[in-house]
Structure 1
Amino acid sequence: MSSRRSKPDPHEMKAAVDGIAKWLYDADAAATPSRNELAKAVRLTARTLEHDAPGHSVELRVPPFVAVQCIEGPRHTRGTPPNVVECSPRTWLLLATGLITWEQAEVDASGTRAHEIAQWLPILRVKPFADE
């Protein structure tokens, strides 16, 4: 039996991200999402990346919510992985939705393959919305 998780439901992921989209567009003007709302959006997008870019060469860490391994290549099993990308939940969601690019993001990336995550982004796009 495989230990691989199934791909997150894309509708559930979209709903989770849409629920905090105003905050992603403007953190100063929108209410900060609850910890549960933020965790759900982060986990679903990161686990979608894990499914879409299978492998174990790069570890994406979005503390305190999730860490996933992705990108084909050598498997890492012990200690600190050689290729790690770590960022804040908001930065991850901005990357995952295409609101910022890899070059614009403030991420801690180490290893020669860490940047390969950029090839799999965005995971989903959020649409601009009109002011209410």
Structure 2
Amino acid sequence: MANQPVETVGASSDKIKVALAICAVVAGVVGFYFLSGQPTIMRAGALVGGLLVAIAIAYTSSQGREFLGFAKESVREAKKVVWPSRKEATQITLVVFGFVLVMAIFLWGTDKILEFVLYDLILGWK
């Protein structure tokens, strides 16, 4: 290990940290189900505790810090989105419902015409 480059040693320790974080999550979930006879607050505490330990361990790895940076950037980008007003959302919803209604009537009519042509005119079943 002394002859390995620093990047390789760092990468392997990061993999170990991520594996430990996954084990902490699994331990929290197992603790949640293992404590099924205990009060809900204790069960939830085991689950949340496992998640918090996993986050703390993952944050010490380079992948964890990169993920946190990605999450922060995602939140920043979501804040840039121009969300429609209530009036615009209502109008768009009504347009969609209107289109669905028109398409339903069109498809029903097409089905009835094809049924008439096929069964009455061509096959003579009715």
TM-score when scaled to structure 2?
Answer: 0.27
TM-score when scaled to structure 1?
Answer: 0.27
Choose 1 or 2 for highest CA Rg.
2
